[in-house]
Structure 1
Amino acid sequence: MKKLILCSCLFLFSFVTNAQDYTDIVRLNISRTNLEDKERTFDTDITNVNFEIIYPKILNDNLILLTGLTAEHTNLDISQLTPDQNLIMTRLNAGVKIKHSEKWSGTYVALPKLASDFDNLGAKDFQIGGIALLDFQYNNNVRAKFGVYSSSENFGTIITPLLGFFYRSVNKKFHLDAVLPIRLEANYMLWNHFSLGLDLRTSVKSYNLVNQDIDFYVQEESVRASIYGSYGLFENSFLIRAKIGLDTTDYGVYASGDKSGVQLLTFTLNDDNRIRLNNEFDSNLFLGLDFIYRFDISSKK
């Protein structure tokens, strides 16, 4: 069931998939939940912190240089045998956005990263991915994106086709911004500084870990769907969001070298004969806070 959910809404790398007239320069996301394994043998408190920063530099009318950094930290007990585990990911985002014509533009980004507990870093902690997106602008309020993401992971190679859509109402009170199967956000402005919204953020990634001289890795398949209230400060350039939602994240433990091969979305293209070393996690409610510094391009035009 979780694979079907994740197939429908897999989230990756929001800063290069923006189709709207704003750019989130800085994002800090904090969430807290308690997950129990499906066999009801143990439960764990989980704290997730995600920080992203982007610096777009305009080189000329047709070329923008994109640089940024993403850092994520998750603390949890993966199983009864691996208590108080830290999953840490740092990723460099480096690429370009090119204007190909009046209607079409493309975003091309390399995504090297380190993902582990950052204890005795080695080659298995390093992975590299990339994303390519074509953007078609129908008009100022309707846009579409088409692309693909791929990454090397401890379990193999993941390939994710991308389809994006952006809609903004004429009065600019409502907008829908989706890059499926990776993220979705719908937002309605009730007053000048307050809005309500729906938010979906998901990811598939792996972390290389060593516990008592035993090499293994964790495959994280994360889906967090929420509703939120948002308050804007400084002409809505700084946003504070309070969120409540459903966290269906699963953390599967596998022996190092036990691979599934090529994976399309969350489905392997060949038989997955890996032996999972822990129980599957169940879903639960989560609480979250977002702090966002946003640059509104439309207001600067």
Structure 2
Amino acid sequence: MKNQLTFMVALLGLSIATAQNYLDIARINVSNTTLEDLEQTHETNITNVNLEFLLPTPINDKTILITGLTAENSSLVLSNGLSRENLIMTRLNLGAKVYHSKKWTGTYLLLPKIASNLNEVASQDFQIGAIALLEYRHKNRFRTKYGLYSSSEEFGTIITPLLGVYYRTPNNKFYIDAAFPIRMEANYNLTKKLSLGADLRTSVKSYNLGLTDRYVQEESIRGGLYASYSLMDDKLILRAKAGLDTTDYGLYNSGDRIGAQILTIQVNGDDRARLNNEFDSSVYFGFDAIYRLNL
């Protein structure tokens, strides 16, 4: 693990339905990088594609049903002598957003998923997580968020607290929307259509490798800068991105577990035998397309 960055590592690549003044109905993120292991014995080109769809359905004046789908694919070679793997994650996002009062809003999601290379469907492919996030509105332009996420993974149970903020300036030129440590976005409008910004996406998850009795533990931090251009009255947003990818893909034997993990800290320590070398960080380039509704 990359000790200089572990305080930022978190647990899932989920775009939570938060209290911002917009709602992303659909988005696709594509990025590419080349990672080398720390021993400089292995190098692999990695393409990551992430798709997210969200369908909010009002039930009454206090409750919105949330259904959605997240799909992700990372293509890479884990170590010398191994073939290229497609690490595939498909997750349902099922829950509700509840307006408890004028100040407090809660988002509650159940997150069942399949995460593997899909060579052979097995019970280890299926995992489940849940998230609860409370939002407190201080003012219309300023809100804070408090929550908890947990998921069953191949290596054990992972738990993380969430702390976030949303703020938009009175002139609407700048906003920041964050649910640390899983995501952050800051954006400044140069013109009506053109903006510059920064974003951070982190995750910790596992993939079962069918037919090999092994699994991959992915710990990912992708932080970058972007230039954004909006079309269709700001409904379609296109972004070109560049930044730093610190993703590590650890290979382990199935059944080799650590128990509970809080953020990146193993409660009972980690005495697993890793089967490949740790990856170093590298520059990545990416592209985003977002379909957004302003609220």
TM-score category (smaller protein): over 0.9
- TM-superposed CA distance for 1:82, in Å, is 2.1
CA–CA separation in structure 2 for the residues paired with 1:72 and 1:269: 28
CA–CA separation in structure 2 for the residues paired with 1:125 and 1:198: 33
Does 2:63 correspond to 1:71?
Answer: no
Q: Is the 8 A contact 1:250 1:282 kept in 2?
A: yes
What corresponds to 2:135 in structure 1?
135
Does 2:111 correspond to 1:111?
Answer: yes
- TM-superposed CA distance for 1:276, in Å, is 0.3
Match of 2:241 among 240, 243, 258: 243
CA–CA separation in structure 2 for the residues paired with 1:182 and 1:3: 17
SS at match of 1:60: coil
Q: Is the 8 A contact 1:69 1:93 kept in 2?
A: yes
SS at match of 1:7: helix
Long gaps (5+) in structure 2: none
What corresponds to 1:10 in structure 2?
10
What corresponds to 2:32 in structure 1?
32
Cα distance change of structure 1 residues 271 and 6 upon mapping to structure 2, 3 Å threshold:
closer
Cα distance change of structure 1 residues 155 and 9 upon mapping to structure 2, 3 Å threshold:
closer
CA–CA separation in structure 1 for the residues paired with 2:157 and 2:4: 19
Q: Could you tell me the TM-score, scaled by structure 2's length?
A: 0.98
CA–CA separation in structure 2 for the residues paired with 1:13 and 1:67: 16
- TM-superposed CA distance for 1:16, in Å, is 2.0
Q: Could you tell me the TM-score, scaled by structure 1's length?
A: 0.96
- TM-superposed CA distance for 1:13, in Å, is 4.4
Q: Is the 8 A contact 2:229 2:237 kept in 1?
A: yes
SS at match of 2:280: coil
Q: Is the 8 A contact 1:3 1:267 kept in 2?
A: no
Does 2:180 correspond to 1:180?
Answer: yes
Q: Output the amino acid matched with 1:276.
A: R
Aligned length in residues: 295
What corresponds to 2:264 in structure 1?
266
Cα deviation, 1:179-227, whole Å, max 9, x if unaligned, reads 11111111000001000001100100000003xx430000000000100
CA–CA separation in structure 1 for the residues paired with 2:60 and 2:15: 20
CA–CA separation in structure 2 for the residues paired with 1:12 and 1:235: 31
SS at match of 2:35: strand
Q: Is the 8 A contact 2:11 2:205 kept in 1?
A: no
What corresponds to 1:59 in structure 2?
59
CA–CA separation in structure 1 for the residues paired with 2:243 and 2:41: 24
- TM-superposed CA distance for 1:9, in Å, is 4.9
CA–CA separation in structure 2 for the residues paired with 1:133 and 1:200: 19
Q: Is the 8 A contact 1:9 1:183 kept in 2?
A: no
- TM-superposed CA distance for 1:4, in Å, is 4.7
- TM-superposed CA distance for 1:58, in Å, is 0.7
Cα distance change of structure 1 residues 52 and 137 upon mapping to structure 2, 3 Å threshold:
same
The CA RMSD over aligned residues, in Å, is 1.1
Cα distance change of structure 1 residues 198 and 124 upon mapping to structure 2, 3 Å threshold:
same
What corresponds to 2:149 in structure 1?
149
Q: Output the amino acid matched with 1:144.
A: T
SS at match of 1:220: strand
Long gaps (5+) in structure 1: none
Q: Is the 8 A contact 2:11 2:160 kept in 1?
A: no
Does 2:96 correspond to 1:96?
Answer: yes
CA–CA separation in structure 2 for the residues paired with 1:250 and 1:13: 15
- TM-superposed CA distance for 1:289, in Å, is 0.1
SS at match of 1:124: helix
- TM-superposed CA distance for 1:70, in Å, is 0.3
- TM-superposed CA distance for 1:145, in Å, is 0.6
